[in-house]
Amino acid sequence: MSLGGILLGIINVAIVVAILLLVGAIILWFCSWMGIGVPPNVQKGYIAVVALIALYLIVALLLGIPSIRIIGAAGPLLA
User: Does 2 map to a domain?
Assistant: yes
User: Does 58 map to a domain?
Assistant: yes
Based on C-alpha coordinates, what's the Rg of the chain? 17
How many domains in the chain? 1
Q: What is the pLDDT along the chain (79 residues), one digit of tens a residue?
A: 688 888 998 999 999 999 999 999 999 999 999 999 899 999 999 999 999 999 999 988 888 877 666 666 655 554 4
- Please report which residue ranges of the chain form alpha helices under DSSP H: 3-34, 40-63
User: Does 69 map to a domain?
Assistant: no
Of 12, 9, 49, which Cα lies nearest the Cα of 27?
A: 49
The whole domain housing 56 covers: 1-9+37-64
User: Does 47 map to a domain?
Assistant: yes
User: Does 74 map to a domain?
Assistant: no
pLDDT of residue 76: 59
Q: What is the pTM of this model?
A: 0.76
55 and 7 in contact (C-beta within 8 Å)? no
User: Does 43 map to a domain?
Assistant: yes
